[in-house]
Amino acid sequence: MSSEITSANPVVEAIITGSAPQPARLAAARGLLPLPQQDLLEVLVALSNNSDAEIAEAATETLQSENPDELLIAAKADETAPTVLAYLANQADARREIHEALILNSNTPDEALAVLAATTKDGPLLELVALNQQRLVRFPKLLEAILGNEGRTAEAERRARETKKEFFEKERGARQIADELRARGKTAAAEFFESAELTSASGTLSVEDAWIIAEHIEVSDSDIDDSWLPSERYEEFAPESAEQIAANIQRVIEGENLEGGEVTAERVSLIRRIMLMNTRDRMKLGMKGDREARSILIRDANKVVCSAVINNPRITDQEVENISAMRTISDEVLRLIALNRAWARSYPIIHNLARNPRTPIPTAIGILPRIRTKDLLNLSQSRNVSEAVRRQAHRLVGARSGA
């Protein structure tokens, strides 16, 4: 069962996570709960894999009795849960119109389409899959599925082989992908693809990994300022060992676990892809990446990389406020936040910095005069900050009260 739930309906969440009572889950599996069709399908697909055999069997029977016209509507809808789209793609006996709609739906999981492409005997459907070059490049297993299917048409084979040759068998592959991204208006992602070395301790990253990373780029070269990076810090771009890379991956995952709860398998996969990049490319991604990339790289063990995130022109005040409260990031990041005049005017940010035990002591003490008396009193009694910060907070409270 997928750990991701698309529906915002709390009833759906309770049923899928198992927090709803067994009779309610069984009623849902039998299709007896008054749920919207999209929510019902998401529930049924999840329950069809339930560990309770009675619930799983009931959900499977209900799914099999669903009206094909309703399933076609779901296959076409962008709002349909990916788990439902994957389920429909795996139904070999589904109507052709349903499979066609799934191929055209951009939210259908690539893995599910690869299974469909490998098993279908419908040659024109394979042609439809082969038409989506962007998806083929993003998920190369689709190419192998098409080429390995004996039912493929000559046209499907031609398109698959051409894509494979252009994007995976030529040295110009990265350039080809960059041109495709630029044609779609994703200039920043194209720039990243053209310049990134994309190397790791185990060799070159796959094109699939590079594509996924490029889609998290939102800032163009013309919008970034790297003057903050002094030349002497280029020594921090030294190659990392496999052990250092593994430790960095673990550091990020544990940090997210500590501050945000359980990390999903999809999130872990993205973290691994990003952390396998070399230091220079992670720094570029920190300065140019989107919110999701920033949230990962802010926990990077390399100070140049996490500092790059703070210098990303798209970082928001809310992100900085959250970062200032984190206790699993570099003290350098907290120092840089305190030095920024705009962020230093935000009381929630400076209050977080004063309370954060990771904030360098001189930085925290320098902030204290701007902290409200009530909060200073709390700091003077807190065991989560250093003794020096507690003493200074105590002095300031006494000075303000005239004691």
> Does the pTM exceed 0.75?
no
Contact 53, 47 (CB under 8 A): no
Q: How far apart are CA 74 and CA 127, in angstroms?
A: 22
Question: Is pLDDT larger for residue 208 or for residue 311?
Answer: 311
Going by C-alpha positions, the residue among 137, 181, 182 that lies closest to residue 159 is 137
Quote the percentage of the chain above a pLDDT of 90: 68
Return the number of other C-beta atoms located less than 10 Å from residue 312's C-beta: 24
Q: How far apart are CA 225 and CA 187, in angstroms?
A: 17
Contacts of 8 (CB under 8 A, 6+ apart): none
Residue 380: helix, strand or coil by DSSP?
helix
Q: Where are the alpha helices (DSSP H) in 169-264?
A: 173-183, 187-195, 207-214, 242-260
Q: Where are the alpha helices (DSSP H) in 311-403?
A: 317-324, 331-339, 341-344, 347-355, 361-367, 373-380, 387-401
| HEC per residue, 87-119 | HHHCCCCCCHHHHHHHHHCCCCCHHHHHHHHHH
Contact 54, 90 (CB under 8 A): no
Segment 146-187, tens digit of pLDDT: 999 999 999 999 999 988 877 776 445 567 777 777 887 888
The widest CA-to-CA distance across the chain, in whole angstroms, is 90
What confidence score (pLDDT) does residue 232 get? 63
Segment 216-270, tens digit of pLDDT: 888 888 888 878 877 666 666 778 888 999 999 999 999 998 887 888 888 998 9
Segment 366-377, tens digit of pLDDT: 999 999 999 999
Contacts of 21 (CB under 8 A, 6+ apart): none
CA atoms within 13 A on the CB side of 346: 18
User: What b/e readout covers 197-214, taking b as 16+ CB neighbours within 10 angstroms?
Assistant: ebebeeeebebbbbbbbb
Contact 160, 149 (CB under 8 A): no
The region of weakest confidence among 219-228, 266-275, 333-342, 375-384 is 219-228
Segment 4-45, tens digit of pLDDT: 788 889 999 999 999 999 999 999 999 999 999 999 999 999
